Each structure stands twice: as C-alpha cells, then as structure tokens.
C-alpha cells in the first residue's frame, strides 16, 4: 500500500539520530564544568523529587486549586515524574494510575476505561480526554495517541465528571496540560532515547521543544515535537516478515501566546501527528509470532494513524471574573489492515478505514476572587462526524467470503452547565453542579437511515472538610451519561443511553514524610450497552441491563530517610450485572463487566544522591502488577474468558544536573509475556512488550 516505507528510511533516521545523540552527549559533558555545576550540586538530592501533595496545583474544577482542596480522587503527575517512571504513552500511564485501564491494540486504537465503567460498545467513549481546553476524547473505537512530551502535568480525575466535562466522562477524565509559550525568556531542550527490545529491532526517538519570545511579555511561540523510529518485535514466519509492528512516528505541536493588553490572553495551538507502520500489536503467540492458519498465511498487515488539531483559546479578566472561549477542530484518519479474529473456526481479515472530525465551541464564565463563593457557568456545542469503510474477509472451511460495510454517523450536541461551591468556614466547603445535555444523532449505511434525540440532566454534589491545612476528607455524588444510538436492524430500532450514579468518600493529605490518597466508591450502572447479533450483517448494540461497581483505590508515599522515596498505589474493583434483559443473549445476571481487572498494584523506590561533589543522580526501581480481567459473550460461547496476571519490573539510573541529563533504563526485566487483556478470545489479544534496555541523553537551556 502507498503508506508502506522502505527500510532504508529507518536506517537513515538511525544514523542521523545516533550522530545527533553523540553531539548532544558531548555538549552535555562540556556543560558540566565545575563552576556551573556547583550552583546546583546536590540540589535534587537535598530537596527530593516529590512535591508535597498539599502543594500541587491542579485545575480539575476549571480553576487553579491546591490538590488537597479538590474534593475528588485525582492523580497529578508532572513531566519530570512521568519521565522518572518511564511513562511515555497512554498505556504506560495505566500502569501507574489506580483504576485506569487501557486496552491496547496499536497506535490510535487504545480504549480507555476507569473505575469499572468499562464498555467497548457504542461509539462514544466512557472516559473524557482533554488536551488543555481541547476535547479529544474520540470514539470508543480508539483514543488519539497523544505524546507525553513538553507537558506541565497530567491530571487523572476518577469518577463521573459530566458536570464540567460532558457525556464522554462517565467513568472519569484524563487531562493533558501542555507547557505554555512564555514571552519572558527563551528556553529549549532536546533529548535522544535509544533502546533495544528483546525479540525485536532497535528503536530511536528524538524529542524536544523551543520557546521563543517575539515581543517581550506580549508574544511568544513554543514548538515541541517527537520523531521516532520504533522497532517492532512481532514476526510473521509464514510470510518471512520480521518485526512487523514497527512505527515511524512524527508529532509536532506549535503554540502561540499573545497578550495584547494586560487582561487579555489569546493562545493558539496546532498539533500535527503522523504515524504509519507494517502491522499492529495484536494476535501474537507467546513467541511473538502471528499466524493465519485458516486464512491467507501471507496476508500483510499495515496501519496508518494521522490526526490534526487546531484550537484558539481566549481568556479575558473582568475583575473577579474570567471569560473564556475555546474553539477547536480535530480531524483524524486511521487505516488498519489485517487485524485477525478467530471465532468458532472462522478467521477474519479486516481492511478498516475510519475518518473522524469534530468541531467544538465552549464559552464559560468563572469566578477568580478570593471570597468564600466560587462558581463557573458555561455552554458547549459539538458537531462530530464519523465515517467508516470496513471490508471483512471471512475464511471458513476453505471458503472465502468478502463483505464490505460503509457507515456514516454524526452527532450534534449542546449543553449548558454550572458549578458552585461555598466555604462555610475555613475547614468546610460544600458544592454542587448541574449539566443539561441534548444530543441529536444520525446514522446510515447507505441503505438504512436513522435519527434520534437523546438528552440528560446530570447533577453532582460534593463536600470537602479539612482536618488541618494538610489533611482533608471529601465526599462526592455524581451522575455520568452516555448517549444511545441505533441497533442497525431493519426495524430502525434504537438503544437507550447508559447512566451511572457514583458515590465516593475519601481522604487525602500529608503528615510529616507521609502523603496519601484513599477513596472508596460505589456505582450503579443502568442500561448497560452491549453488542448482539441481530438481523444486520454485523450485529448491533442494545441495552443489556443494570450493573453495580464498587471498589477502593489508594496511593501512599513516604520518605523514611533523607533522599529516599517509597511509593505504592493500587485498587480493588468488583463489577457484576444485577439485572439482565430477557432478550439479551450475551450475558446473565452475575456476569462481571468486560475488561476490568480485579486489582492493580504498583510500587516504586527512588534514591537520590550526588556523584562526587557536583553531579545529582538517582536510582529508581518500579514494580507493577495487573490482575486478570475477562470478557463474556455467551452468544459466542465466551464465558469470562480471562487475561493473564502480569508482573512487570523496571529500573532507571541517571544523572540529572538541571540543564542536562543522562539516564539508563530497563523495562520488563522479568521477561513477562502474558496476555494484557482478554481479547485473545477473538484473536485480538496483545502481550506485554518484551524486555527493553536503553538510554536517554538530554540537554536544556
């Protein structure tokens, strides 16, 4: 196909990348002259790498607050913390954040779930994803492959966030806050990472940013980017193909900040992402080989994942009130060839093209004063379109059947929302929010034309009580919502919306060298949407019944001695269907919800020290364990088909002298190669990435 690339391209990239790495390393070593290094000697070792949880500032409630003042369970990670933990992708993030589940198939094909609200059906995601003020949630078929480069922080908001973030946030919200253009001074950084993957090819990645003030304190531009040649590790022996799941990824983000007058700030963002390769990550056996025994043994996989994002955001300070307008356009194309499914002796080969676009406009007013009353009100408009061209080739008993399918869906929605909270005292804060959502949907397969309207009123109630300035108790009651849609049958029937009521209590804080966040939750999941085979060729979605979800998530950090930080986090989640519609053939009462592991656990230890008299250094070890998850579809005879329990061990050692760094790292030291998710039931499973050993060298100015 036209997007295949010759291997010489990767070789050329490797040569130039290695040359650049050599020059960067030389520059970094020259930059470490004693006179300069003395200024920061031991700084990291003395001050530690952790910011106290009471001091972290987040904007989860659409205004800047200390993390301890926000009455919900949140994980906030800075760019430095992401780097130290080796988090470079959405899937990596799920390893270190309790209750976050990412079902991985390949770039642009990750599905995100949170707190047991896990359902890959319908076309709407259950977890909202935001890049700054830009909603980039995408469909349930896959979230955008956002690069975790040049960020201020990542915020993971657990539980329904419909009041402030809309219908795509029934399970929670992910917020990626990028670094802003700074008109006060120039700065930049560049780093090179190279690593070798067992069973696979060598990989190289260059990333960095450049910030340039054009008019002092008024106008600046910031450009960040990533260029990566990612070697594959999956082979297709029958076709004589090796390392087929490779990637050539290019990602550039440009931001402009303009402050024409003191009270007005205008920001523009353009993000261009291009990625292509010879195959995705699904279907490999424990030897990282793929076979098509019933189909075309020489069938060639490929993928293309492109998206472009535009945004303009204006903020105007009106004296105690801020007016914000955010306008966004997202355009994405995805083309996948070769994802094989194997069910009941039938093997399928897919040629799947997905084009999506969305226009969104948000306007909101929020209080910025220091008084006891805080509020935000706003409106949101969205126009989304999704066109899918899917050709399925079926192989069964020597027969070959090819069947095309073209679908067009669209959604036009409007919503109005408000949130208000009041400080009854220095210790107690009460608040509530409300959002009204109206969604007009259309769908057609060029034969059947359907339309429907769905709406919802979603409230939230919360309180926060501070025992001290550094210890808080909180409680939340919130409702989440996901639109209904169309079954796809000749009767032009529809399925209804999903609704989630969630109840949460928790505590967070810090006491001496110890900080924590502990919360328990209970959710009632109504009108669960599931896939069934109906009169349509490929089946459709319908409502299966109700479910309940309850669980506990926790994180703990302690510095028992100077320079040593020990951290642990994890969760336990229980899910089950409590009511099943009589017509449902996929589930019975008591079945667990798909994709939800019973538990996850992560632990880390980081020791900071000084090499000689001038070089701050660190050594870190990370352990992650992922419990089993299942899928159930009794119409196919799949009853709680499980994934494997995974144990992943990684380590990182580095020198971080402020303006330059050198690190060596390793992941999956235990050689874990189990199934990451239960999609092995239909041949779409993925396995943990093999052992990887690499290095990073970087220089900033």
Evaluate if residue 663 carries a pLDDT over 90: yes
8 Å CB contact between 325 and 314:
yes
Average pLDDT, the chain: 87
Instruction: Look at phi and psi of residue 203 and say left if phi exceeds 0, alpha if psi is from -120 to 50, else beta.
Output: beta
Q: Which of 61, 63, 125 is nearest to 480 (CA)?
A: 125
8 Å CB contact between 281 and 104:
yes
Q: Which residue has the higher pLDDT, 452 or 488?
A: 452
Evaluate if residue 660 carries a pLDDT over 70: yes
Please tell me the least confidently modeled range out of 164-173, 192-201, 407-416. 164-173
Mean local confidence (pLDDT), 647-664: 93
Ramachandran angles phi, psi of 158, nearest 5°? -90, 145
What predicted TM-score, i.e. pTM, was given to this entire model?
Answer: 0.90
Band (pLDDT 50/70/90 cuts) for residue 628 is: very high
**CA 421 to chain CA centroid, nearest Å:** 29
Evaluate if residue 524 carries a pLDDT over 60: yes
What SS3 class is residue 261?
strand
Band (pLDDT 50/70/90 cuts) for residue 317 is: very high
- pLDDT score, position 626: 94
- pLDDT score, position 544: 85
The secondary structure of 471-489 as a DSSP string is EEEEEEEEEEEE--EE--S
Q: Which residue has the higher pLDDT, 297 or 248?
A: 248
Evaluate if residue 413 carries a pLDDT over 90: yes
Evaluate if residue 466 carries a pLDDT over 50: yes
Q: Which residues contact 1 (CB under 8 A, 6 or more apart)?
A: 302, 337
Q: CA-based Rg of the chain, rounded to a whole angstrom?
A: 25
Please tell me the least confidently modeled range out of 186-195, 330-339, 354-363, 664-673. 330-339
| Sign of torsion over alpha carbons 41, 45, 49, 55 | negative
8 Å CB contact between 272 and 333:
no
Q: What does the block give as tokens for 213?
A: 């003030």
CA-CA distance, 248 to 107, in Å (whole number)? 11
Evaluate if residue 48 carries a pLDDT over 70: no
Evaluate if residue 656 carries a pLDDT over 80: yes
CA-CA distance, 491 to 21, in Å (whole number)? 62
Mean local confidence (pLDDT), 154-177: 91
CA-CA distance, 198 to 202, in Å (whole number)? 9
Evaluate if residue 390 carries a pLDDT over 60: yes
Mean local confidence (pLDDT), 608-622: 92
Mean local confidence (pLDDT), 324-339: 91
Q: Using one digit for the tens of pLDDT, what is the confidence trace for 20-40? A: 334 333 333 333 333 333 333
Q: In the chain, what are the domains?
A: 53-183+269-650+669-689 (2.40.170.20)
Residue 453, exposed/middle/buried by CB under 10 A (0-12, 13-18, 19+)? exposed
Top mean pLDDT of 101-110, 191-200, 488-497 is at: 191-200
Evaluate if residue 488 carries a pLDDT over 80: no
Please tell me the least confidently modeled range out of 106-120, 125-139, 303-317, 636-650. 106-120
Please tell me the least confidently modeled range out of 36-40, 54-58, 59-63, 469-473. 36-40
Band (pLDDT 50/70/90 cuts) for residue 54 is: low
Q: What is the largest CA-CA distance in the chain?
A: 79
What SS3 class is residue 417?
strand
Evaluate if residue 393 carries a pLDDT over 50: yes
Q: Which residue has the higher pLDDT, 372 or 336?
A: 372
CA-CA distance, 641 to 303, in Å (whole number)? 27
CA-CA distance, 25 to 190, in Å (whole number)? 11
- pLDDT score, position 666: 97
Q: Which of 687, 700, 583, 698 is nearest to 287 (CA)?
A: 687
Q: What does the block give as tokens for 53?
A: 């949880």
Length of the chain: 701
Please tell me the least confidently modeled range out of 176-185, 569-578, 580-589. 580-589
Instruction: Find residue 65's DSSP bridge partners.
Output: 58
8 Å CB contact between 191 and 701:
no
Evaluate if residue 12 carries a pLDDT over 60: no
Mean local confidence (pLDDT), 428-452: 92
């Amino acid at each position: 196909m036209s997007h295949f690339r010759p291997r010489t391209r990767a070789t050329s990239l490797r040569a130039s990348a290695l040359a650049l790495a050599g020059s960067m390393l030389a520059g970094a070593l020259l930059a470490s002259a004693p006179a300069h290094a003395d200024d920061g000697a031991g700084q990291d070792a003395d001050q530690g790498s952790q910011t106290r949880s009471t001091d972290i500032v987040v904007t989860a409630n659409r205004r800047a607050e200390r993390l301890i003042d926000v009455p919900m369970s949140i994980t906030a990670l800075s760019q430095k913390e992401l780097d130290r933990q080796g988090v470079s992708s959405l899937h990596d993030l799920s390893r270190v954040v309790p209750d976050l589940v990412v079902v991985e198939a390949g770039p642009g094909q990750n599905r995100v779930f949170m707190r047991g609200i896990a359902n890959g059906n319908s076309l709407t995601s259950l977890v909202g994803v935001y890049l700054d003020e830009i909603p980039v949630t995408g469909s349930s078929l896959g979230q955008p492959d956002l690069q975790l480069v040049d960020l201020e922080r990542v915020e993971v908001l657990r539980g329904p966030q419909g009041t402030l973030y809309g219908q795509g946030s029934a399970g929670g919200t992910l917020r990626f806050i990028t670094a802003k253009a700074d008109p006060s001074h120039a700065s930049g950084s560049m780093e090179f990472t190279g690593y070798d993957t067992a069973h696979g090819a060598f990989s190289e990645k260059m990333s960095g940013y450049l910030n340039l003030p054009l008019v002092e304190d008024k106008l600046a531009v910031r450009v960040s980017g990533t260029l990566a040649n990612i070697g594959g590790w999956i082979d297709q022996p029958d076709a004589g193909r090796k390392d087929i799941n490779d990637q050539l990824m290019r990602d550039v983000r440009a931001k402009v900040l303009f402050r024409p007058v003191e009270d007005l700030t205008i920001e523009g963002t353009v993000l261009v992402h291009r990625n292509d390769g010879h195959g995705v990550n699904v279907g490999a056996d424990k030897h990282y080989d793929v076979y098509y025994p019933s189909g075309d043994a020489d069938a060639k996989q490929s993928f293309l994942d492109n998206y472009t994002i535009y945004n303009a955001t204006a903020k105007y300070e009106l004296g105690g009130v801020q007016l914000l307008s955010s306008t966004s356009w997202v355009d994405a194309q995805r083309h996948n060839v070769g994802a094989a499914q194997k069910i009941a002796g039938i093997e399928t080969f897919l040629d799947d093209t997905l084009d999506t676009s969305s226009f969104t406009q948000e306007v909101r007013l929020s209080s910025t004063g220091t008084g006891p009353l805080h509020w935000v009100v706003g409106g949101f408009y969205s126009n989304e379109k999704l066109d899918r061209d899917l050709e399925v080739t079926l192989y069964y008993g020597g027969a070959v059947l090819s069947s095309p399918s073209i679908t067009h869906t669209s959604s036009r929605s409007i919503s109005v929302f408000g949130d208000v909270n009041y400080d009854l005292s220095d210790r107690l804060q009460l608040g509530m929010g409300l959002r009204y959502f109206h969604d007009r949907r259309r769908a057609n397969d060029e034969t059947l034309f359907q339309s429907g309207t769905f709406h919802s009123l979603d409230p939230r109630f919360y309180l926060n009580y501070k025992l001290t300035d550094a210890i808080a108790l909180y409680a939340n009651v919130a409702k989440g919502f996901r639109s209904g849609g169309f079954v796809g049958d000749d009767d032009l029937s529809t399925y209804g919306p999903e609704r989630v009521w969630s109840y949460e209590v928790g505590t967070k804080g810090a006491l001496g060298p110890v900080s924590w966040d502990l919360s328990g939750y209970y959710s009632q999941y109504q009108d669960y949407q599931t896939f069934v085979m109906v009169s349509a060729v490929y089946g459709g979605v319908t409502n299966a019944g109700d479910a309940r979800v309850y669980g506990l998530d926790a994180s703990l950090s302690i510095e028992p001695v100077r320079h040593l930080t020990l951290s642990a986090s994890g969760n336990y989640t229980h899910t089950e269907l409590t009511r099943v519609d009589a017509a449902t053939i996929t589930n019975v009462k008591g079945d667990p919800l798909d994709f939800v592991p019973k538990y996850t656990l992560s632990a880390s230890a980081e020791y900071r020290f000084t090499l000689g008299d001038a070089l701050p250094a660190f050594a870190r070890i990370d352990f992650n364990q992922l419990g089993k998850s299942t899928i159930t579809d009794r119409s196919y005879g799949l009853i709680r088909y499980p994934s494997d329990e995974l144990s992943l061990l990684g380590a990182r050692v580095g020198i971080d002298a402020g303006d330059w760094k050198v690190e060596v790292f390793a992941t999956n030291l235990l050689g874990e190669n189990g199934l990451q998710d239960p999609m092995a039931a239909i041949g779409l499973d993925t396995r943990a990435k093999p052992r990887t050993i690499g290095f990073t060298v970087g220089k900033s100015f």
